[in-house]
Amino acid sequence: MNLVIDIGNTRVKYAVFDKYEIVVDQHSESALFLSMVKELFEVYPKIDHAIIASVSDFPKKEYEVLTLFCKVHMLSHKSKVPFKNSYINPQTLGIDRIALATAAFYKNPKGNTLVIDMGTCITYEMINDYGEYLGGAISPGLKMRFKAMSAQTAKLPLLDAKDFLDFIGNSTEKAMQSGVINGICQELDGVINQYKDRFQLLTVILTGGDAQFFAKRLKNSIFANSKFLLEGLNYLLEYNKN
């Protein structure tokens, strides 16, 4: 069994895989990392490999503790990947984007795939039908846009995303909701259409924390998969075992 650990900016995600099937997935605050790991190994003693993907430096002590339980692979730009990487500076490619590209490669190995991750930032990853990672785009995410408007103006409030009836906002709050949510929807549909114009039979996968919120709001046909990054990390662990 494999343990996949995704350490983000605000929380840690854990997933236990039996080969390529998710047995359980959980999350916690960073401070609870060691207690969560110990609990998972108590419940799933057959875990013999783990992969760590961290957006920041991972504490050496926590890494050493984890190695007491199983073999550990720390995902980096030196890790082997199954696809051809055509990014100009591969060492600057975020490890989360590497994992998403890997999942796309395995899920649709002979097709054109665009993965859109709705996280802190919105990222776009393109894998073509030759198994080549071409790159993509990065733009501000949902919460980042609300925070930017509040932090960089004197009177606009800090809002959370809510449904609105009309894209024409007749109050400051509704205008902000429309500007952010409708703006992201127009961006997503517009970007998807750009890719469709260039790549035939394009498969679009929407993932990340805000994926479900936007999946029903898009005009384009997409597949929503909130576990896509975790699945990509598990594929990478399997690929790097030998």
What are the C-alpha distances in Å from 153 to residues 8, 49, 107, 156, 181? 28, 48, 43, 6, 19
Would you say 145 is a known binding-site residue? no
CATH topology (fold) of 84-233: Nucleotidyltransferase; domain 5 (3.30.420)
- Which residue in 18, 48, 96, 129 is the catalytic one? 96
CATH of 2-74, one of 1.10.3720.10, 3.30.420.40, 3.30.750.24, 3.40.1390.10: 3.30.420.40
Would you say 153 is a known binding-site residue? no
Quote the CA–CA distance of 228 and 207 in Å, as a whole number.
6
Per-residue confidence (pLDDT) for residue 8, from 0 to 100: 80
Per CATH, 2-74 and 84-233 having the same topology is answered: yes
Helix, strand, coil proportions of the chain in percent (round to 5)? 40, 25, 35
Quote the CA–CA distance of 44 and 10 in Å, as a whole number.
26
Walk along the chain (242 residues) and give the pLDDT tens digit of each residue. 999 999 986 789 999 999 999 999 999 998 899 999 999 999 999 999 999 999 878 888 889 999 999 999 999 999 999 999 999 999 999 999 999 999 999 999 999 999 999 999 999 999 999 999 999 999 999 999 999 999 999 999 999 999 888 899 999 999 999 999 999 999 999 999 999 999 999 999 999 989 999 999 999 999 999 999 999 999 999 999 97
Quote the CA–CA distance of 90 and 189 in Å, as a whole number.
28
Would you say 115 is a known binding-site residue? no
Which tokens sit at 72?
């550990």
Q: Are 20 and 236 in contact (CB under 8 A)?
A: no
Domain ranges of the chain: 2-74, 84-233
Q: Is 160 a catalytic residue?
A: no
Would you say 102 is a known binding-site residue? no
Laid out side by side, the sheet with 84-85 consists of 84-85, 132-140, 121-127, 113-118, 203-207, 223-224
Per-residue confidence (pLDDT) for residue 163, from 0 to 100: 85
The identity of residue 98, as a single letter, is I
Cβ atoms within 10 A of the Cβ of 95, count?
A: 21
